[in-house]
Chains A and B, each alone.
Chain A
Amino acid sequence: MSVLQPVRRFRPRLPRVPLSIMLVSAIILVIVAVALLAPWIAPADPLRQDLLGRLKPPGTVGRTGVTYLLGTDDLGRDLLSRILYGARVSLSVAVLSVLVSTLVGVTLGMMAGWFRGWTDTVIMRLVDIMLSIPAILLAVLTVAVLGPGFLKLVLVLGLTRWPRYTRVAYAQTLQVANLPYIKASELAGAGAARILFRHVLPNIAGPILIVATAEFGLMILFEAGLSFLGLGIQPPSASWGSIMSVGRQYVERAWWIVAFPGACLFLLVLSVNVLGDWLRDRLDPRSRIR
């Protein structure tokens, strides 16, 4: 018989996740799932018009036997299906533009923090300049000049919102740059790109994730705002913002066209903000309010 017996089995300690965080994560997951599955779960074709069934209230049974659970819009299209497909557009614009701005912002920030000297001066001055133009206005002007379109929208949003990432990546890189393992890697002959992306980036990823989460919520609002102004997603495809832009004209007769996409937008942004605050408190103990 062995003397050494396991006293108790090793159990990894799971971080305690508050109920509210589980709830908002569930909301985000559901919205993402719905967006991905839109073609399979939408009850109707989001583009099929029924001019005799315009502005029908939620629950109306259409002539083809379909029930319009959330009513129809000004062209008799099923609002539920449009919201489901709209989720794809809103989410993909936000995700892609966050990716673009992270890529640009973090690369520039790491370069400024690593090379210092004039690279630092030029990049950080550019950050100051970009931050003194209100982003929504720059986006409005650029989209107006370029013309609307999905890809242009992503690029415009991505390229107006990078400076925040640069500031964080810069400050973090300065902190990390003098650590022994970075020095060792440099002495071993690693190039700047390898050091920055292989060694610096993983160590500064936490703070960048915090910025990205906050920016994700903002991007959703920006896209919705631009589409609401008629500068974003163009018909016949729709995002939540552009559905609301149309619904606004009928708000007194057909409240549902604004109310349902508006509620989705609010829930999503709220959830992202709650999650972002929680992530910041967990990953950055200094910001935690005592």
Chain B
Amino acid sequence: MLGYALWRLLQAAISVFGVITIVFVVMHFSGDPTLLLVPQGASAEQIETLRHQLGFDQPVWVQYLAYLGGLLQGDFGQSVVQRAPAFGIVLSRLPYTIELAIGALIVAIGVGLPVGMLMATYRGTALERALAAVVLTGQSVPTFLSGILLIMVFAVQLHWLPTSGVGDVRFLVMPSIALGALSMSTFARMTRIAMVDELGKDYVRAALARGLSMRAVVLRHVLRNSAIPVITIAALEIGNLLAGAVIVETVFAWPGIGQLAIQSIQSRDFLVVQVIVLLISFIYVATSVAADFAYAAIDPRIRLAR
């Protein structure tokens, strides 16, 4: 187990290092990153001063090492607009996004799991086809379209829910549904596949032959064994939900890091955007490592395979 854990952590470290490198390269795509970081209307002299301050007049590899060194010390750079550490700005907005992601995850799992289970159990019936249509819709509606539609129906027409913004739990309902719809489809599909796989196994037939009801077999055995792939999906979906927040937060004026990213792009505050990309990627890597560990703890075949 220890060997497996170390090996997996090393992999994760390489991924994190790779992500940092790619983000560094992207920031240098434009040629001179100074121009991305100066406020609009800066004089040539100011640009020159900033270029020197930030070390952008140095060779690229020196900049790269300095950048890595800064990150290691927790220095993610300064926001040129707010004149404060970019990391702190992002961190102050993060709780809102986490709240939204949790809401979306509840929608995704709360709807996706039962739908997938019903589809697997009632295979070939009208119920399965109806649910398949729901899953397909969730997969095909653009997040911003479902967001706008929800606002039009439940806020503008029916006045049941507030249009946008933050407040009590009512504000969270529509953004969570809009953000969770795509994940819901993923959960439903994966749950269905995992359960259909499991239902085809010999022990299920044996249990049925011994006279157990389908209901008892599903509840007692099949669900537990289908859980493993679903746990992995849950971990991977957290990253997707955080990333999808960029659009949903814009539609619902939700003050999380997604909205911050778009605002920062508009005010050309690219260091803040960069911190957001890094942060979400790190969370993504961390959750997938956590999922693998959970996986290995449940299933000895995985940790012994290495």
Chain A residues near B (Cβ < 8 Å): 125-126, 128-130, 132-138, 140-142, 144-147, 217, 221, 224-225, 228-231, 241, 244, 248, 251-252, 255, 258, 262, 265-266, 269-270, 273-274, 289-290
Residues of A within 8 Å of B71, CB to CB, are none
* B243 near A134: Cβ-Cβ < 8 Å: yes
Judge if B294 is at the interface, Cβ distance under 8 Å.
no
- Complex: A130 Cα to B152 Cα, angstroms: 37
A134 touching B280 by the CB < 8 A rule? yes
Cβ-defined partner of B144 (8 Å) among A140, A147, A244: A244
Known A-B contacts A229-B247, A251-B148, A290-B196; A142 and B11 likewise in contact (beta carbons under 8 Å) = no
A145 touches B196 (CB 8 A): no
Q: Which of B19, B36, B142, B149 contacts A132 (CB 8 A)?
A: B19
Q: A145 contacts B270, CB within 8 Å?
A: yes
Interface residues of B in 1-37 (CB under 8 A from A): 11, 14-15, 18-19, 22-23, 26-27, 29-30, 36
Contact A132 B281 (CB under 8 A): yes
Contact of A217 with B26 in the complex, beta carbons under 8 Å: no
Contacts of B142 in A (CB 8 A): 221, 224-225, 228, 241, 262, 265-266, 269
Query: Which of A141, A228, A274 contacts B247 (CB under 8 A)?
Result: A228
B68 at the interface (CB under 8 A from A): no
Q: A217-B140, A269-B140 are in contact. Are A132 and B285 (CB under 8 A)?
A: yes
Q: List 6 A-B contacts (CB under 8 A).
A: A129-B18, A132-B285, A134-B240, A134-B281, A138-B26, A289-B192
B38 contacts the other chain (CB 8 A):
no
Query: Given known contacts A133-B284, A225-B143, A258-B148, what 10 new A-B pairs fall within 8 Å (CB)?
Result: A125-B14, A129-B18, A132-B285, A144-B273, A224-B144, A228-B247, A270-B136, A273-B136, A273-B139, A290-B200
Contact residues in A for B193 (Cβ distance below 8 Å):
289
Q: How far, in whole Å, are A244 and B193 apart by their CA atoms in the complex?
A: 35
Q: Are A133 and B277 in contact (CB under 8 A)?
A: yes
The residue of chain A having its C-beta at the shortest distance from the C-beta of B145 within the complex is A262
CB distance from B243 to the nearest CB of A (A): 3
Please tell me if the beta carbons of A225 and B284 are within 8 angstroms of each other in the complex. Answer: no
Q: What is the minimal beta-carbon distance from B142 to any residue of chain A, in angstroms?
A: 5
- Tell me, yes or no, whether B137 is within 8 Å of chain A by CB: yes
CA distance A258 to B14 in the complex (A): 44
In the complex, the answer to whether A129 meets B140 with C-beta atoms within 8 Å is no
Asked if B141 is at the interface (CB within 8 A of a chain A CB), the reply is yes
> In the complex, what distance in Å separates the CA atom of A92 from the CA atom of B29?
24
Whether B246 lies near A146 (C-beta < 8 A) is no
> Smallest CB–CB gap between B68 and chain A, Å?
15
CB contacts under 8 Å to A, within B238-261, are 239-240, 242-244, 246-247, 250-251, 261
Could you tell me the distance in whole angstroms from the C-beta of B163 to the nearest C-beta in chain A? Answer: 9
Q: For residue A248, which residues in chain B have a CB less than 8 angstroms away from its CB? A: 144, 148, 251
Min C-beta distance of A173 to chain B, whole Å? 23
B18–A231 touching, CB < 8 Å: no
Does B156 touch A at the CB level, under 8 Å? Answer: yes
User: Of residues A132, A144, A255, A258, which shows the largest number of chain B Cβ atoms within 10 Å of its Cβ?
Assistant: A132
Contacting residue for B30 out of A146, A221, A290, CB 8 A: A146
For A132, what are the chain B residues with a Cβ–Cβ distance below 8 Å?
Answer: 15, 18-19, 239, 281, 284-285, 288
Asked if residues A255 and B152 are in contact (CB atoms below 8 Å), the reply is: yes
With a cutoff of 8 Å between Cβ atoms, the chain B residues found around residue A262 in the complex are 142, 145, 148-149
With an 8 A cutoff between CB atoms, is B151 at the interface? Answer: yes
User: Which residues of B139-195 are within 8 A (CB) of A?
Assistant: 139-145, 148-149, 151-152, 156, 192-193
Residues of B within 8 A of A229 (CB): 246-247, 250, 262
Interface residues of B in 52-91 (CB under 8 A from A): none
B265 contacts partner chain A, Cβ-Cβ < 8 Å? yes
Enumerate chain A residues within 8 angstroms of B250, measured Cβ to Cβ: 228-229
Query: Which B residues touch A241, using CB under 8 A?
Result: 142, 144
Are B144 and A141 in contact, CB atoms less than 8 angstroms apart?
Answer: no
User: Which chain B residues lie closer than 8 Å to A145 at the CB level?
Assistant: 26-27, 29-30, 36, 270
How far, in whole Å, are A181 and B139 apart by their CA atoms in the complex? 41
Q: A138-B26, A145-B29, A229-B262 are in contact. Are A274 and B145 (CB under 8 A)?
A: no
The answer to whether A136 touches B244 (Cβ under 8 A) is: yes
Whether B115 sits at the interface, judged by CB under 8 Å, is no
Given the contacts A129-B18, A144-B265, A258-B148, A274 and B288 also touching, CB distance less than 8 Å: no
A228–B244 Cα gap in the complex (Å)?
Answer: 13
CB neighbours of A228 from chain B (8 A): 142, 144, 247, 250
The interface residues of chain B lying within 8 Å CB-to-CB of A146 are 29-30
User: Which residues of chain B in 94-151 are interfacial with respect to chain A, using CB atoms and an 8 Å cutoff?
Assistant: 123, 136-137, 139-145, 148-149, 151
Nearest CB on B from A113, distance (A):
20
